[in-house]
Chain A
C-alpha cells in the first residue's frame, strides 16, 4: 500500500517550485533579437577551415572544436538540412531535443537559443539565424515516407535521411542505436491547436542560413533530404554549403551564454566538465 506525502511535504515541494519560478522571473531573460539579415555576409578566407558542399540527398559528418562555428547556408536554393551531434570524446553524450525544447520552454529555436546534450550541457549556440523555422519534432524522411510522397520513383536516386544517418553512424564506428532524435534546419513546421503538424512555407527563404557555434568538441552529422512535410511533389533537394569557421572566444556578455537563467546554468555545466 502507498502512504501519500503529508500536506506539509506537498506544500514544501510546491513552495520550492514557486521559488524556482520566482528566481527564473527575477533573472529577466534578455530579449532575443530578430532574424539575421540575408544574404549571409562573406566569411574572410583566412577564417575558413573547410567548406563542404553536400549534394542533394547526401550526408556528411565532420569534427568540430569548441568555439568553432558551422555555417549552414542555402547557397544554391532551398533545402532542409537534418543535424545530429555527439561529444567527440564521449559519444554516449549526444544531441537531446526533448531537453532542448523543455528547458527553453519552446520548440521555436532561433538566434539566441541553444541546443543541449542529454547531460545538461550546451552543444551549440544559434549565433546567427536568418530563418528561425526549424523542426525539433518530426525528424527526417524514411524510405517509406519517400515511397508515399514520390510515388513510382523510389529508386536509388531517392535518398532518405534515416538511411543516411544509419550509413553515417556506422562509418563513425557507432551504430543505429546511437542516432539521436534529429533537428531539421529550414523546416517550417508548426503545431495546430489539435496537435497536427503544418508546413508554413512563408517562414523560409531560398537563401536562408544559420551559424551554430560549437560549445564542446563534437562530431556533427548532416543529411540533406527533403522534409517529410515538404509539399514539393518532385524530389529535388538542392546542394547545401557547410562552412567550418575558425574559433574565436565569445565575449563575456555573449547573447547565447547569458540570455536565460537556463542557458547560464547549462554553460556552468560545460565549464565544470572542462575543469
Chain B
C-alpha cells in the first residue's frame, strides 16, 4: 500500500466527500452525483475490481459494455472512455488512469463459470457474481440486473486472431482510475475474490474508493 497520488489541487484526501475502504473479496456500493469525480484505487496492486454502474434514479438504465465498446470503436477502457448506458447515454467519463487499460470483455467470475473454467472442485469458492447479486439486492435488483461489467486493473489482451487470455495484472500499488459522473450513478463493486488465475496475484487485497464534489 502506498501514499495517495494527487491528480488535481482541488482533490485531496482532506476534502473528499466520501472515502471508503473495501475489504478484500467484499462487495460495495455508493451513489456518485452528477459532476462528482470518483476514484477507484488499487491500493495494493494487481487487484481486479469488477465494476457496474446504474442510473441512480432508474436502475433499468445501466452500464452497457457493448454500447461502450461500439461508441469508442475499441475494446479497452482508458482515459477518455465514455461509459455508455443501455439507453446510449453517457453515464461517466474516464478522466484519469495511472495504469493503462482495463477489460470489459471478460465479465465477472461466478461459482458456475468457475466449474467450467477450472473444474467442478472450484464451485465452493467465493466469486464476484455472488458479491454483485448480494449488493444489487440492496437496491431492489436481482441476478438479471448483473450485466457484463468493467474489470478495472484486469489485463485481458485480445489478439487479432480473437485469442484472449487473462494475464498477470499490470497495476502497481496505488494505481487509480478517476471518472467524472455525467448523471447520478449507483456504483457497484465486487472486489474480486478469484484465486484460480493470476488476475489478483493469487492474493486478493483491499481497495479504496474516494469521491469529490465538482470543482468550483
B166 contacts chain A at the CB level, 8 A cutoff: yes
- The 0/1 profile, CB within 8 Å of B marked 1, for residues 242-275 of chain A is 0000000000000000000010011011000000
User: Which residues of chain B are near A268, meaning CB under 8 Å?
Assistant: 120
Of A120, A178, A191, A266, the residue contacting B158 (CB under 8 A) is: A191
**Contact B119 A13, beta carbon cutoff 8 Å:** no
Q: Is the CB of B110 within 8 A of A118?
A: yes
Given the complex, which residues of B lie within 8 Å of A157, measured CB to CB?
A: none
Judge whether A179 and B74 touch: CB under 8 Å: no
As a 0/1 sequence over residues 43 to 77 of chain B, the CB contacts with chain A under 8 angstroms (1 = contact) are: 01000000000000000101011110110011110
Q: Is the CB of A99 within 8 A of B74?
A: no
A120→B196 CA distance, assembly (Å): 16
User: Which of B144, B148, B160 has a CB less than 8 Å from the CB of A97?
Assistant: B148
Stretch at the interface among A38-46, A135-143, A215-223: A135-143
Q: Is A2 an interface residue (CB 8 A)?
A: yes
Fill in one digit per residue for A139-159: 1 if any B CB lies within 8 Å of its CB, else 0. Answer: 100111100000000000000
Minimal beta-carbon separation of B145 from chain A (angstroms): 6
- What residues of chain A lie closer than 8 Å to B117, measured between beta carbons? 102-103, 262
Counted as pairs of residues, one from A and one from B, with CB atoms less than 8 Å apart, the total is 163
B144: chain A residues within 8 A (beta carbon): 92, 94, 177-178
| Residue B142, interface by CB 8 Å | yes
Quick one: CB contact mask for A92-109 with B, threshold 8 Å, 1 for yes? Answer: 101011110111011110
Q: A2-B206, A107-B105, A107-B158 are in contact. Are A269 and B115 (CB under 8 A)?
A: yes
Overall SS of chain A's interface: mixed
Interface residues of B in 59-106 (CB under 8 A from A): 60, 62, 64-67, 69-70, 73-76, 86, 88, 101, 105-106
When distances are taken between beta carbons in the complex, the residues of chain B under 8 Å from A182 are: 66
Q: How many residues belonging to A are interface residues under a CB distance threshold of 8 Å?
A: 60
Please report the C-alpha to C-alpha distance between residue A121 and residue B110 in the assembled complex, in whole angstroms: 12
Check if B8 is an interface residue, CB within 8 A of chain A. Answer: no
**Does B118 have its Cβ within 8 Å of any Cβ on chain A?**
yes
Selected interface stretch from A15-23, A58-66, A205-213: A15-23
Q: Which of A94, A103, A138 contacts B69 (CB 8 A)?
A: A138
Contacts of A105 in B (CB 8 A): 163-165
Closest B residue by C-beta to A4: B203
Quick one: which of B67, B116, B119 contacts A266, CB cutoff 8 A?
B116
Would you give the shortest CB distance from A268 to chain B, in whole angstroms?
7
CA distance A143 to B108 in the complex (A): 29
| 8 A Cβ contacts from A105-140 to B | 105-108, 116, 118-121, 136-139
With A23-B119, A118-B110, A137-B69: A196-B147 Cβ-Cβ less than 8 Å: no
Q: Which of B108, B119, B164, B202 contacts A265 (CB 8 A)?
A: B119
Asked if A167 is an interface residue, CB under 8 A from chain B, the answer is no
Q: Mark B1-27, 1 if CB is under 8 A from A, else 0.
A: 100000000000000000000011000
Q: Which residues of A contact B86 (CB under 8 A)?
A: 176, 179
**Do residues A99 and B107 form an inter-chain contact, with CB atoms below 8 A?**
yes
Let me know if B137 is at the binding interface, CB within 8 A: no
Q: Is the CB of B106 within 8 A of A98?
A: yes
Contact A195 B196 (CB under 8 A): no
B110 touches A138 (CB 8 A): no
Given contacts A14-B202, A102-B117, A120-B115, contact A194 B107 (CB under 8 A): no
Among residues of B, the one whose C-beta sits closest to the C-beta of A262 is: B116
Offer 13 A-B interface pairs, CB within 8 angstroms, sorted by A. Answer: A13-B203, A101-B105, A102-B105, A102-B113, A103-B113, A105-B163, A106-B161, A106-B164, A107-B164, A195-B76, A195-B158, A262-B117, A265-B116
**Which residues on A are within 8 Å of B, measured CB to CB?**
2, 4-5, 9-10, 13-14, 16-17, 20, 23, 92, 94, 96-99, 101-103, 105-108, 116, 118-121, 136-139, 142-145, 162, 175-182, 190-197, 228, 262, 265-266, 268-269
Other 5 A-B pairs with CB < 8 A, given A99-B113, A191-B160: A4-B205, A20-B119, A99-B107, A105-B163, A192-B160
